[in-house]
Structure 1
Amino acid sequence: MFSPRGHKKTTIIVTLIQLFVFNGTKGQDFFGNYEEVTSPPPESIGPLPKCGEDDQKGQFKCVPYYNCDPITNTIVNYPEVDGSNIINKKYPTTHQPRCGGLLEVCCQIPNGTVNSFEYVPTINFEFEPKCGIKDKRANETRLGQFPWMVALLEAHTEETKIFCSGSLLSPVVVLTAAHCVQNLKLEQIRVRVGKWNVESKNEEVPYQDKSVSKIVIHEHYLDSTLYNDVALLVLNSSITKRDNVGTMCLSRDVAILDSQNCLVTEWDNKSLQGKNSYTGVLKARQFSLISKKSCQKELRTKLGEEFVLHHSFICTNDGNGTCWGDGGGPLVCPDSAQRYFQIGIVSWSVDCGLPYVYTKVIGFVDWVDLKLRELGYNSISYTL
């Protein structure tokens, strides 16, 4: 049987009276054996800043709690899904700034950065708005055939040490991969345009070297997976117009392009044979775009069945089983008039013989436009 509700309440009251009366000698304070403890008043704090704003801009962002390592407080990924366990391109705060979602935390973005510099060079207006024009010879390259091609060299050395490539968007702006420049300081980079033969110092039209005044890396670039692997380099002064120098075109519409006759250019990389050097003349190879579904299926043979190809990537065929392409270099495709447009940036691969993965430039044209407008430039040099 259930006890009446009032019975339990009466029993508790009687027990408390007995404890008070019979605890110790008569007249002794029942609470005399207890020490009073008063908690200090809480610290006065103002409104918590939003995650990723003010001094945390570009360093922190809100993510689901399970995507933030509780030890390092940095964003972590799903290796089974994003391939971060295979792809090798790879501060704690006094309070947690607010995030909008109930299950979100403010987490440090690994290796994301934007280096700023106040000086903005003036454009050389000798450049005509004719981008994407190359010599009509096939893959036997010659001086000036790919005038948009840019070599990124280690500065402060007499040797020609090319560590990545890029493409010239305007007389003062180079497009490249974020993974090429993310950990570099401005003074460590030398940009060379108009170069064809790495071993020759006496070409018919001389190359031009420039230093870098500003590095702009995409705000959502992730080093472990190479998501959004795109960056801009602003040169310290404008390139001079010559026969061996020209700009690359960008397009938002891949449908107008011949996706079966795309080209990737590179200098001969001897690091594949254990040497870290580039020799010889600029080379070109033809590739075809493949669908995301096909690319993902082939990559899963190495990355696992749960791997998902991120939307910031596109793929080409395997180039007959050979490793090819300088990091940061352009993947370009022609339109019906044989004018070339850049649709990819060489980003990563898992193994020779599998598809090559590129940053999907078409998805970043608006970002490029925005960053150039912030610098005071327009898009005339890379649009028709």
Structure 2
Amino acid sequence: MTIIIISLLLLASLLPHLTFTARVNVGIVNGREAKPHSRPYMVSIQVDGSHICGGFLISEWMVLTAAHCWNRNAILTVVVGAHDLRNSKRSDRIGVKSYIPHPDYIGLPRPIQNDILVLKLMKKVKLNKKVRLIQLPNEGEDVGPDTVCIVAGWGRLSTYGPVSVRLMEANTTTINPEECQRRWGSSFLAPQMICAYGAGGSCSGDSGGPLVCGDTAVGVTSFGDKYLCNSPALPEVYTKISTYIQWIHEKILSDM
């Protein structure tokens, strides 16, 4: 009887620990399902009907995403107003008329730089409750360290896991640029990048989606640890939108 009582007491003492460590990956990585259509600026970027990257609406004609999401032989399609990608209608799918990567973009195998791309759509999107634009920062308007932001996407649920068919999101916190530099070395360029880490974060398939702080998209999901999504040692890196805002506005205005 004494042994049974001791065993029960040990089990009771372990329950809080077991509850905490048994958290299931349900989101981007350790995230949560977004409330349907609560992020109406989000788009799924697809090739042949399959999701490859995220992106976000910055005008009725244009989507902002990561330059590495497009190889020059691919024909991309943008899906707007989606939550569960299985339910997207033909009318939600819009072709891309032109691809405008930053002129100084450098991709792998060299360290990524200027990882930003504007997609000009074949037709104007119809804004409604499910389809909206997101605010961009002003030039030089940088977010400080220790700011809680949100990332969202339809990417993998874990490093080698399946992709999500529903939009997921997670909180993440910006890190001091000096610390980002220490972690990433020469791959991190403070004038054009932000890094962030939290309980959840982005993974493969989430590239191109926004880092949203408050109501403003301050970054574009760019790169992270090659071997571990949401790595505590190598935090996720985002292209800093404020650095490129003049270039972005030029592209938007040129289409008016």
TM-score (norm 1): 0.52
After superposition, residues 72-221 of structure 1 pair within 5 angstroms as 140-155=33-48, 160-185=49-74, 188-200=75-87, 208-221=92-105
Question: Quick one: distance in 2 between partners of 1:331 and 1:322?
Answer: 10
Deviations 1:276-309 (A, max 9, x none): xx33321110111111101111224xxxxxx362
Residue 322 and residue 243 in structure 1: after superposition, are their counterparts in 2 closer, same or farther (change >3 A)?
closer
* Runs of 5+ unmatched residues, structure 2: 1-30
Runs of 4+ in structure 1 deviating by more than 4 angstroms, as ranges, are: 255-259
2:212 aligned counterpart, secondary structure: strand
Equivalent residue, structure 2, for 1:279: 164
Task: Specify which of 108, 126, 134 is matched with residue 240 of structure 1.
Answer: 126
CA distance in 1, matches of 2:84, 2:129: 15
Residue 370 of structure 1 aligns with which residue? 250
Q: 1:321–1:264: structure 2 CA closer, same or farther, 3 Å change rule?
A: closer
Q: CA RMSD in A?
A: 2.6
Residues 194 and 258 (structure 1 numbering): CA distance in 2 closer, same or farther, change over 3 Å? farther
Report the 3-state secondary structure (helix = DSSP H, G, I; strand = E; otherwise coil) of the residue aligned with 2:178. Answer: helix
Distance 1:201 1:218, change over 3 A: closer
Whichever residue aligns with residue 41 of structure 2, its letter is: W
Asked if residue 324 in structure 1 is aligned to residue 203 in structure 2, the reply is yes
Displacement of 1:370 in angstroms is 1.3
SS at match of 1:167: strand
**Do the aligned partners of 1:257 and 1:333 also contact (CA within 8 Å) in 2?**
no
Could you say if the C-alpha distance between residues 286 and 270 of structure 1 is closer, same or farther in structure 2, counting changes exceeding 3 Å? closer
Distance 1:321 1:341 in 2: 20
Amino acid at match of 2:43: V
Unpaired runs of at least 5, structure 1:
1-137, 301-306, 335-339, 378-384
Matches of 1:246 and 1:321 in 2, distance apart?
A: 25
- SS of the equivalent of 2:243 reads helix
CA spacing shift, 1:147–1:259, aligned 2, 3 Å: farther
Q: Normalising by the residue count of structure 2, what TM-score does the alignment of the two structures yield?
A: 0.76
Higher RCO (CA 8 Å, separation ≥ 6 residues)? 2
How far apart are 1:254 and its partner, in Å? 3.8
**C-alpha spacing 1:140/1:323, structure 2 compared with 1 (3 Å):** closer
Provide closer, same or farther for how the CA distance between residues 147 and 358 of structure 1 changes in structure 2, counting only shifts above 3 A: same
Letter in structure 1 aligned against 2:129: D
Q: How many angstroms does 1:141 deviate by?
A: 1.8
Q: Structure 1 vs Structure 2: percent identity of aligned residues?
A: 26
Distance 1:362-1:259 versus aligned 2 partners, 3 A rule: farther
